Copies of this chain bind each other. A is one copy, B any other.
Amino acid sequence: MGESKIIYQNRHITLREDRVSDRKGKEHVFAVASVNSGAAVLPMDEEGNVYLVKQFRYALGKDSIEIPGGGLDSQEKPLDIAKRELLEELGIKALQWIHLGFVNSLTSTVVHREDLFLARGLEFHTPSPDETEELTMVKMKFSEAVKLVMQSHITHGPSCVLILKTNEFLRSRAEIF
Protein backbone atom coordinates (compact mmCIF):
# COMPACT_ATOMS: atom_id res chain seq x y z
CA MET A 1 0.00 0.00 0.00
CA GLY A 2 2.83 2.42 0.78
CA GLU A 3 5.62 3.22 3.18
CA SER A 4 5.52 4.83 6.59
CA LYS A 5 8.50 6.56 8.19
CA ILE A 6 8.87 7.92 11.73
CA ILE A 7 10.23 11.47 11.47
CA TYR A 8 10.28 12.34 15.18
CA GLN A 9 9.21 10.78 18.44
CA ASN A 10 9.17 11.85 22.08
CA ARG A 11 7.11 10.99 25.15
CA HIS A 12 4.11 13.04 24.03
CA ILE A 13 4.08 13.21 20.23
CA THR A 14 5.13 11.16 17.20
CA LEU A 15 5.34 12.52 13.66
CA ARG A 16 5.28 10.07 10.80
CA GLU A 17 5.23 10.52 7.04
CA ASP A 18 3.24 8.05 4.94
CA ARG A 19 3.45 7.62 1.17
CA VAL A 20 0.24 6.10 -0.11
CA SER A 21 -0.93 5.30 -3.65
CA ASP A 22 -4.58 5.94 -4.47
CA ARG A 23 -6.76 3.76 -6.70
CA LYS A 24 -5.43 5.54 -9.80
CA GLY A 25 -1.82 4.83 -8.78
CA LYS A 26 -1.10 8.43 -7.84
CA GLU A 27 1.16 8.85 -4.79
CA HIS A 28 0.09 11.06 -1.88
CA VAL A 29 2.24 12.11 1.07
CA PHE A 30 0.55 12.45 4.45
CA ALA A 31 2.32 13.74 7.54
CA VAL A 32 0.46 12.70 10.65
CA ALA A 33 1.17 13.77 14.23
CA SER A 34 0.05 11.31 16.88
CA VAL A 35 -0.50 12.84 20.29
CA ASN A 36 -0.96 10.41 23.20
CA SER A 37 -4.61 9.68 23.81
CA GLY A 38 -5.98 10.88 27.10
CA ALA A 39 -8.90 11.38 29.38
CA ALA A 40 -10.35 14.48 31.01
CA VAL A 41 -12.96 15.15 33.64
CA LEU A 42 -15.36 17.88 34.72
CA PRO A 43 -15.77 17.67 38.51
CA MET A 44 -19.08 19.16 39.71
CA ASP A 45 -20.22 19.49 43.31
CA GLU A 46 -23.76 19.40 44.74
CA GLU A 47 -24.16 23.19 44.42
CA GLY A 48 -23.32 23.17 40.71
CA ASN A 49 -19.74 24.46 41.11
CA VAL A 50 -17.09 23.06 38.79
CA TYR A 51 -13.36 22.86 39.44
CA LEU A 52 -11.06 23.71 36.55
CA VAL A 53 -7.31 24.05 36.13
CA LYS A 54 -5.44 27.16 35.04
CA GLN A 55 -1.96 26.55 33.68
CA PHE A 56 0.56 27.94 31.21
CA ARG A 57 0.28 26.06 27.94
CA TYR A 58 3.46 26.09 25.92
CA ALA A 59 1.90 25.45 22.50
CA LEU A 60 -0.66 28.18 23.15
CA GLY A 61 1.90 30.60 24.58
CA LYS A 62 -0.33 31.67 27.46
CA ASP A 63 -2.43 30.58 30.43
CA SER A 64 -5.40 28.39 29.63
CA ILE A 65 -8.36 27.38 31.78
CA GLU A 66 -9.10 23.71 31.13
CA ILE A 67 -10.70 20.62 32.56
CA PRO A 68 -8.26 18.41 34.50
CA GLY A 69 -6.89 15.55 32.43
CA GLY A 70 -3.84 13.80 31.13
CA GLY A 71 -2.40 11.32 28.68
CA LEU A 72 -2.20 7.57 28.79
CA ASP A 73 1.12 6.37 30.15
CA SER A 74 0.66 2.83 28.93
CA GLN A 75 -2.36 0.59 28.46
CA GLU A 76 -4.35 2.35 31.18
CA LYS A 77 -8.11 2.67 30.85
CA PRO A 78 -9.45 6.21 30.24
CA LEU A 79 -11.47 6.13 33.48
CA ASP A 80 -8.34 5.25 35.49
CA ILE A 81 -6.44 8.17 33.94
CA ALA A 82 -9.30 10.56 34.65
CA LYS A 83 -9.43 9.42 38.29
CA ARG A 84 -5.66 9.72 38.71
CA GLU A 85 -5.44 13.17 37.12
CA LEU A 86 -8.36 14.55 39.11
CA LEU A 87 -6.69 13.42 42.35
CA GLU A 88 -3.17 14.54 41.38
CA GLU A 89 -4.09 17.91 39.92
CA LEU A 90 -6.91 19.00 42.21
CA GLY A 91 -6.91 16.54 45.11
CA ILE A 92 -10.47 15.47 44.28
CA LYS A 93 -12.00 12.00 44.47
CA ALA A 94 -15.47 11.39 43.07
CA LEU A 95 -18.10 8.80 43.87
CA GLN A 96 -20.00 8.99 40.56
CA TRP A 97 -18.39 8.87 37.09
CA ILE A 98 -20.46 9.48 33.95
CA HIS A 99 -18.81 8.77 30.58
CA LEU A 100 -19.82 11.47 28.09
CA GLY A 101 -18.09 9.95 25.07
CA PHE A 102 -14.92 11.09 23.37
CA VAL A 103 -13.54 13.64 20.97
CA ASN A 104 -10.93 13.41 18.20
CA SER A 105 -9.25 16.78 18.47
CA LEU A 106 -8.47 16.96 14.76
CA THR A 107 -9.02 14.37 12.06
CA SER A 108 -6.95 15.55 9.08
CA THR A 109 -3.36 15.62 10.35
CA VAL A 110 -3.46 14.79 14.07
CA VAL A 111 -4.31 11.50 15.74
CA HIS A 112 -5.63 12.10 19.25
CA ARG A 113 -8.57 10.79 21.22
CA GLU A 114 -9.72 12.22 24.52
CA ASP A 115 -12.35 10.42 26.60
CA LEU A 116 -14.61 12.72 28.60
CA PHE A 117 -16.14 12.19 32.04
CA LEU A 118 -18.45 14.10 34.33
CA ALA A 119 -17.65 13.45 38.00
CA ARG A 120 -20.16 13.98 40.83
CA GLY A 121 -20.11 13.25 44.55
CA LEU A 122 -16.81 15.01 45.21
CA GLU A 123 -14.43 14.49 48.14
CA PHE A 124 -11.61 16.97 48.63
CA HIS A 125 -8.07 15.83 49.52
CA THR A 126 -4.58 17.29 49.04
CA PRO A 127 -3.41 17.55 45.40
CA SER A 128 0.02 16.22 44.34
CA PRO A 129 0.80 17.60 40.85
CA ASP A 130 4.04 16.36 39.33
CA GLU A 131 6.93 18.80 39.46
CA THR A 132 6.68 20.03 35.87
CA GLU A 133 3.07 21.14 36.35
CA GLU A 134 2.25 24.54 37.79
CA LEU A 135 -1.49 24.50 38.28
CA THR A 136 -4.02 26.80 39.87
CA MET A 137 -7.47 25.48 40.76
CA VAL A 138 -10.31 27.65 39.45
CA LYS A 139 -13.72 27.16 41.06
CA MET A 140 -16.77 28.62 39.36
CA LYS A 141 -20.50 28.12 38.85
CA PHE A 142 -21.17 25.70 35.98
CA SER A 143 -23.22 28.36 34.17
CA GLU A 144 -20.12 30.61 34.26
CA ALA A 145 -18.03 27.85 32.63
CA VAL A 146 -20.62 27.57 29.83
CA LYS A 147 -20.44 31.36 29.39
CA LEU A 148 -16.62 31.27 29.19
CA VAL A 149 -16.86 28.64 26.44
CA MET A 150 -19.49 30.63 24.52
CA GLN A 151 -17.32 33.77 24.77
CA SER A 152 -14.12 31.91 23.73
CA HIS A 153 -12.34 32.54 27.04
CA ILE A 154 -12.17 28.77 27.45
CA THR A 155 -10.91 27.53 24.04
CA HIS A 156 -9.21 24.17 24.70
CA GLY A 157 -11.12 21.78 22.45
CA PRO A 158 -11.86 18.85 24.80
CA SER A 159 -12.80 21.33 27.57
CA CYS A 160 -15.29 23.11 25.30
CA VAL A 161 -16.82 19.79 24.24
CA LEU A 162 -17.13 18.36 27.76
CA ILE A 163 -18.58 21.54 29.27
CA LEU A 164 -21.18 21.85 26.50
CA LYS A 165 -21.96 18.11 26.56
CA THR A 166 -22.47 18.32 30.33
CA ASN A 167 -24.82 21.26 29.76
CA GLU A 168 -26.88 19.16 27.33
CA PHE A 169 -26.73 16.09 29.61
CA LEU A 170 -27.98 18.04 32.65
CA ARG A 171 -30.76 19.63 30.58
CA SER A 172 -31.90 16.18 29.44
CA ARG A 173 -32.26 15.31 33.13
CA ALA A 174 -33.85 18.69 33.93
CA GLU A 175 -30.97 19.61 36.24
CA ILE A 176 -30.28 23.32 35.85
CA PHE A 177 -27.42 25.08 37.69
Using a CB–CB cutoff of 8 Å, the interface residues on chain A facing chain B are: 7-8, 10, 12-13, 15, 17-18, 20, 28-33, 35, 57-60, 64, 66, 100-113, 132, 146, 149-152, 155-158, 160-161, 164-165, 167-169
**Closest CB in chain B relative to A22 CB, distance in Å:** 9
**Beta-carbon contact of A8 and B8 below 8 Å:** yes
**Beta-carbon contact of B7 and A111 below 8 Å:** no
Which residue in chain B gives the minimum CB-CB distance to A168? B150
**Beta-carbon contact of B150 and A169 below 8 Å:** yes
**Closest CB in chain B relative to A102 CB, distance in Å:** 5
**Beta-carbon contact of A103 and B157 below 8 Å:** yes
**Closest CB in chain B relative to A136 CB, distance in Å:** 15
A69 and B26 CA atoms in complex are apart in Å by 25
Given contacts A106-B112, A110-B110, contact A101 B152 (CB under 8 A): yes
Mind listing 15 A-B residue pairs with CB under 8 Å?
A7-B15, A8-B17, A10-B29, A30-B59, A59-B109, A59-B110, A64-B104, A66-B107, A100-B150, A103-B155, A107-B155, A113-B155, A150-B168, A164-B164, A167-B168
